[in-house]
Amino acid sequence: MNTNYIDLLLIHFPPKPNDPYTIQSLWQEFVSIKATGKVRYIGVSNFDIPQLNTLLEIGTPTINQIQYYLGSDNLEVVEFCKNHGILVEAYGPLTPLRNPNPKTDALIEKLQNANHLTKSQALFRYLLDNNILPITTSFKKERLKEALPAVAAALELVDLKFLFSRKYRNFLEIHLTQERSWQCGHHLIASS
């Protein structure tokens, strides 16, 4: 990978019942890897509330990366994470562009008009305003550039709104000093 360390290592999916490892045994492996210094943060992905509760018996992930976007219905997981100091990272933030519906479209338009944003920028802004970290991707340079103002706007919110725990502050400061505030920011820097 041509790097001395990894910013964030995630358990991509919770183990299935017949897997030869459990949430707790996997997490202990991750803690050991982090202790080597080659990984800065460890987290999980696609964990629901019972799975998070199992994990919380032995440790707290920095991040739970889940599918989340304006109009999605897994708000309970988001609230649970916030209440337990786990940063929610939302994949699929642009899902409403692929699956339009009148209710979400009206909300997007409202956000666009209030803030002079494009549709994708409005969708990122919605997440950031709710203290959720969007993770996006594009093969198109113009689309990545379109995401830049949302990243900048989010950075302006860092002290005011985005950080609500010391843990998050540490996470973002370290990433900011390395110009890797978010994965979308990282991609943008790498591709511009």
Ligand X SMILES: NC(=O)c1ccc[n+]([C@@H]2O[C@H](COP(=O)([O-])OP(=O)(O)OC[C@H]3O[C@@H](n4cnc5c(N)ncnc54)[C@H](OP(=O)(O)O)[C@@H]3O)[C@@H](O)[C@H]2O)c1
Residues that bind ligand X (CB under 6 A): 12, 45-46, 65, 91-95, 97, 120, 135-140, 143, 146
Token pair 């790097």 is found at: 3
User: Least Å distance between CB 96 and ligand X?
Assistant: 9
The alpha carbon torsion through 146, 66, 32, 164 (nearest 10 deg) reads 70
Side by side, the strands of the sheet bearing 63-67 are: 6-11, 39-45, 63-67, 87-91, 133-135
Give first-to-last CA distance, the chain, whole Å.
20
User: Least Å distance between CB 191 and ligand X?
Assistant: 11
- For ligand X, the closer CB: 8 or 158: 8
- For ligand X, the closer CB: 169 or 187: 187
- For ligand X, the closer CB: 62 or 136: 136
User: Least Å distance between CB 71 and ligand X?
Assistant: 13
- For ligand X, the closer CB: 172 or 184: 184
Give which of 186, 171, 180, 178 is closest to 87, Cα–Cα: 171
User: Least Å distance between CB 138 and ligand X?
Assistant: 3
